[in-house]
Structure formats: structure tokens, C-alpha cells
Amino acid sequence: MNLLWAVGALLLSCWQASASTGPKIITDPPEVSNQTSAVLSCNLTESNLPIKGSHWVYNGKIIEDSKSTDASPSTVLRLEKITHSSGGKYECVFETEPEVKGTIEVKTLPHVGAYKHSEHGNEKDKGVMVCVSHGYPLPTDWTWFKEEDGTQKPFINGTTTKFEIKSTPNKTTLTINELSMEEDIGDYTCSGTNELGTSSDKIHLRVRSRLAALWPFLGIVAEVIILVTIIFIYEKRRKPDEINDGRAIPMQITKTRM
């Protein structure tokens, strides 16, 4: 009985050993978080497949400079400066039959920016403020704050009909209905949070009174009326002279009658 168990255990371990002889990639580091630069490396182990070369892929596109026809089982990619635009999924690909890939995620703080840093709206109209984000991973949470008396007051969606927040991972929109000059002027902050942290941007909202444009408009209309009056008066003054004047343009009939 004991012999049977021993044989069984031996067979099991052999089988396990043979199951794990598939090619394996060791990535180092397994994940990059919040670093300014990094060296990504992949090591292909436990594979006797011939390696024709290797390259790196970033967000689905092949990085041209990383292509190599080296048959070496290890490949390295240097990221000198990691900004929000270089975050994403990096894959090392070994050109074997079949291809073997390993993935390293480079994560950064989100980069949050406002479409326009100064927004304006008309009284009683709606005001729209938009923030967008780039980076990887995209923010999972967006919050809006209003600066009041030095502190940030958060907006909670759904409490009133005055505010509406619509958010997608890369864009968030705060809509304020029925703008009022007393309450709504000020600085608004949008802040996006992903697993690494938070970053934010500020927008200044200005509310113009509905009648603000009326005064310049009335001024211009007055100017037009004055000009037209002057022109007509001037012409009335000249009219007696003109009948005798042989001016060509209007004087067809008078001339032919002369």
C-alpha cells in the first residue's frame, strides 16, 4: 500500500513538473506605480522554443525602437521619464511559435485639466464646466467642489435640480441651471481620483446679467438713428441746390428735358 502511494506521488509530481514546463515570462517589476522613470524587463524561462526576436507593445501599438532580432530570452525597455501620457499597458512580446507575451502596467497619477479655465454664463441661463483627464488608469471617481470662504464645498449629485454632474472616466461635466449672480460666481474645482491618487483643476465661473449687453446695444441704435437723421437733414438742405445742379446720376430726365 505504501509503495502504491509513493508511486502515485511520484507520478503526480512528474505530471505537475511536466505541466509547468510551458514557457513563462518573469516581469520585473510586475507593476510600476508613481515612479518618474523605470526599467521594464522580461525574462522568458522554461521554454526551449527558438526565439526569433522580441519587441514591446504599448497600448496595442508596437514601439518601433524596441524591435530586436536578438535571440536572447530577456528584453529590457527603458522609460526615461514617466508622465501621465506614458502610462498604460506595456507588453513584451517574444517572437516564438506561438508568441509569448507578458504585461507590465505603468500607472500614474491622473492628469486633470479643464477645457476652459474661465467659463461664463448668462443669468437664469445654464452654465457648463468641463474637465477632462488623461493618463492610466483613468479616474474612477470625479468630484466637484466650490470654493466658499476658503473651504471646498463638495457637490453631491441628485440632491437638487440646480446641479447636474455627468461623468465618464475621461470627462466630467458640471451643469448649473438657473445661474444667479449672487450665488454662482466663483471658483470651482474638479478633482479626479484613481487608485494612485487625486489631482484637480480649477475653473472660474462668471455670471453676466441679462441686461448687460442692452446698454451698448441701445447706444449703437441711438448712433444709427442720429446718423440717419443727419444724412436726411443734410440732403433736405441741399435739395434746392440740386435741381439746378447738372449732376449726372439722378438727372436723366432733367437733362434730356433741357
Partner 1 sequence: MTKNKPKAEGQRDEAEGQDGGWGWVLVGALFVSTSLVFGLMRSLGIFFVEFVQYFEESAQAISWISSTGLAAQQFFSPLGAALCNAYDARVVVMTGGCLAGLGLILASQATCLVHLYLTMGVISGLGWGLVFTPMVATVMANFTRRRALALGLGFSSIGLSSFAFNPLFQLLVEVFAWRGALLILGGLSLNIVPCGALIRPKRRSKSPEKINSESKPRASILHRVSSHLELSLLFERPYITYTLAVTLLNVGYFVPYFHLVAHSRQAGFSEYQAAFVMSAAGATDILGRVASGWFSDLGHFRLLHLLSIWTTLAGVFIMLLPVSSLSGSYPALMVISLLYGFCSGALTSLVFAVVPMIVGVARVMGALGLLQLIESGAGLLGAPLSGFLKDVTGNYIASFMVAGSFLILGTLTMATLPHYFSCKDPPPPQRPSPEDKDKSLQSEVEPSVTERSVI
Name which of 28, 26, 197 is nearest 107 in CA terms: 197
Residue 195 or 245 having the CB closest to partner 1: 245
CB of 186 to partner 1, least distance (A): 17
Residue 48 or 252 having the CB closest to partner 1: 252
Binding site for partner 1 (CB under 8 A): 118, 120-122, 125, 128, 208, 212-214, 216-221, 223-224, 227-228, 231-232, 238, 241, 244-258
Contacts of 16 (CB under 8 A, 6+ apart): none
Contacts of 101 (CB under 8 A, 6+ apart): 25, 57, 91, 92, 93, 94
Residue 141 or 235 having the CB closest to partner 1: 235
Name which of 205, 202, 207 is nearest 186 in CA terms: 205
Amino acid (1-letter code) at residue 226: I
Angstrom distance (rounded) from CA 195 to CA 108: 9
Residues found in the chain = 258
Residue 161 or 244 having the CB closest to partner 1: 244
CB of 131 to partner 1, least distance (A): 14
Residue 6 or 227 having the CB closest to partner 1: 227
CB of 237 to partner 1, least distance (A): 10
- 3-class DSSP state of 33: strand
CB of 233 to partner 1, least distance (A): 11
CB of 227 to partner 1, least distance (A): 4
